[in-house]
Amino acid sequence: MIIASISYKGGVGKSTIARNLAVYIASKGQKVCLIDADETMATTEWYADRQENPREDLPYLQVIQMTNTKGLIPAARGLYEDYDVLVIDAPPSIKPIASKIMLLAHMIIIPVAPKGKQDYTVTAKFVERYDEIMQQKEEVTPAYFVLNMYRNTNFNKAFEEVLKEYGDSSGIGLLDTKLSELTDHAEATQSGLTAYDYSKGRAKEEVEYMCDEIVALAQKA
Ligand SMILES: Nc1ncnc2c1ncn2[C@@H]1O[C@H](COP(=O)(O)OP(=O)(O)OP(=O)(O)O)[C@@H](O)[C@H]1O
Ligand SMILES: [Mg+2]
């Protein structure tokens, strides 16, 4: 299974979700490689920190950087022969590499952290591109929005309703999971960890709930 965490918007939690999902799946005994497809190398640096602070209880995880648009699909397919699961941390861009990632993936997770009107435009653009790309594939790739940094505001609730409507019009679902804005995520990141292997509280519970949900959907796909 190849799962991509992707959005056209920066700072919405693509890397956080990709890392947590990769660690979670690895902790269940699967051989996982996390692909850092972002030229900023944030996940590659996170992995270097993780290796500098080794802990016996952390599951084995490999991180490989792949930012070459042309080479991505053949390189990732080759790599996939050696792993059970690839998780792709996509860059925040509408560039061709984002389309390649969508072509390659068996499942697409789209973090959304609604902050303002611009999120409606970005989401609509993403859905449009997703629809175009799915026309090039033999089988439609299941895709799900996930609300991140969620707050119980009227704006967030209204945005959630819009995301639900996309389920009918484009087939992109909305995960039941809502990840709250919690400092454990940023704190964990600083030492090469994820909330899943760092937090003992709500951040870990929410991540576990999300990963259980994604894995169950992946098994159905
Ligand atoms: N649920 C959350 N609660 C609090 N902080 C969060 C949460 N999710 C992510 N963050 C923090 O927000 C920042 C951006 O998250 P992240 O790097 O995962 O986003 P991204 O979409 O990958 O960004 P980029 O587009 O720059 O690659 C990070 O500092 C991360 O620790
Ligand atoms: Mg990122």
pLDDT at 198: 85
What does pLDDT average to in each consecutive run of 10 residues of the chain (221 residues)? Answer: 97 98 98 98 97 92 97 98 98 92 97 94 94 93 97 94 90 96 95 91 97 96 76
CB 72 within 8 A of CB 101: yes
Closest ligand by atom to 14 CA: 1
Q: How far away, in angstroms, is 15 Cα from ligand 2 center?
A: 4
User: What is the distance between the alpha carbons of residues 130 and 159, in angstroms, rounded to a whole number?
Assistant: 19
Query: What does the block give as tokens for 103?
Result: 């072509």
Q: How many residues are given for the chain?
A: 221
Is 180 exposed, middle or buried, given 0-12, 13-18 or 19+ CB atoms closer than 10 A?
A: middle
Q: How far away, in angstroms, is 138 Cα from ligand 2 center?
A: 29
pLDDT at 5: 98
Give the CA count within 13 Å in the CB-facing half-sphere of 58. 21
pLDDT at 95: 87
> Which atom of ligand 1 is closest in space to residue 149's alpha carbon?
1
pLDDT at 214: 98
User: What is the distance between the alpha carbons of residues 212 and 221, in angstroms, rounded to a whole number?
Assistant: 14
Q: What is the CATH number of the domain that holds 8?
A: 3.40.50.300
Give the mutation target among 8, 15, 36 for probing the ligand 1 site: most ligand atoms within 8 A of CB: 15
Give the mutation target among 9, 16, 181, 198 for probing the ligand 1 site: most ligand atoms within 8 A of CB: 16
pLDDT at 53: 87
pLDDT at 175: 98
> Which atom of ligand 1 is closest in space to residue 111's alpha carbon?
21
Q: Which residues span the domain enclosing 38?
A: 2-220
Cβ 16 under 6 angstroms from ligand 1: yes
Q: Which residue has the tokens 């789209």?
A: 110
Counting the structural domains of the chain, the total is 1
pLDDT at 200: 82
Q: pTM (2 decimals)?
A: 0.97
Residue 39 phi/psi, 5-degree rounding, is: -60, -20
